[in-house]
Amino acid sequence: MNVSVLLDGALDELLERIRPALAVVMDRRRGAGAGILLGNGLVLTNAHVAGRGRSLQVVLENEETHPAKLLASDPDVDLALLEIPVNGHAAAVLSEAAPRPGEMVFAFGHPWGHRNVLTGGVLSAVTSLRGRHGEIPVLRADVQLAPGNSGGPLLNMAGQVIGLNAMIFGGDQSVAIPASILRRFLGEALKKMPGKRVPEGVL
């Protein structure tokens, strides 16, 4: 079989698998971003998308809209954890592999409000940015992003989350928070909330 046919098939399969794990995170006043479903009602997004957590809503792929509660937020790494009162939805899987410059990536989100848009590129660099409290590791990719991609996943070709798209410089350079930082943030946030946990196999 032709390689491009195989690629198409693999792409379809990846998209089918990841699409149900992508949510829209809305704030009535400030527009929308993306979020990643982690299972057990947990939704990971950017702190700048969640804001102070007032009147947050999460829209699932099947158009179900749920009110969301802000569980934790860390502006230093631009991450926030939300909870919606439903269970049993799809969940994304975080990559455990070290990110490699040159590997292919997809960004998945809602640029300019267009739902479920996939943009492709490669991981450009594994680098760091100076934040308010020292350097934070980040991933840079050459994928095309726009407002609305914030909080959405940067995926590897196995459909695993290698980062959370956080900062959009416009054009074709994006910055994502790497999976290692997502894990650390979730670990610290969930430690303070007995009874809440991410399903096995996600982290």
Partner 1 sequence: MSNVLVELSNSMAAAAEKAGASTVLVNARRRMPASGVAFAPDLILTADHVIEQEEGITVLLPDGTETGAKLAGRDPGSDLAVLRLDKPLAKPAETSPQARIGALVLALGRPSPEGIEVSLGVVSATGGPVRTPRGSIDRFIRTDTTPFPGFSGGPLVDAEGRVVGVNTSGFGHGIALTLPADYAWKVADQLAKHGSVQRGYLGIRSQGVDLSAPAQKALKREQATGLLVISVEKDSPAEAGGMIVGDILVAVDGQPVADHDALFARLAGDAVGKSAPVEVLRGGQPQKLTVKIGARS
Which parts of this chain interact with partner 1 (CB under 8 A)? 3, 6-7, 10-11, 13-14, 100-104, 121-128, 140, 142, 156-158, 171-173
The catalytic position among 73, 95, 124, 150 is: 150
Known active-site residue 150: yes
Which residue type does 167 have?
Answer: M
Q: 176 has which bridge partners?
A: 139, 165
* CB of 59 vs partner 1, minimal distance in Å: 28
Maximum Cα–Cα distance across the chain? 52
From the CB of 31, what's the least distance to partner 1, in Å? 27
Q: Which residue has the tokens 């455990």?
A: 96
Cβ distance to partner 1 smaller for residue 67 or 171? 171
- Of 27, 66, 73, 78, the catalytic one is 78
- Closest to partner 1 by CB, 171 or 199: 171
Q: Is 78 a catalytic residue?
A: yes
CA distance linking residue 116 with residue 78, whole number of Å: 22
Q: Is 27 an annotated catalytic residue?
A: no
Tokens of 13: 């399969």
Residue closer to partner 1 by CB (options 131, 187) is: 131
Min dist CB 121 to partner 1, Å, is 6
Q: How far is the CB of 104 from partner 1 (least distance, A)?
A: 4
**Closer CB to partner 1, residue 137 or residue 147?**
137
Q: Which residues are catalytic?
A: 48, 78, 150
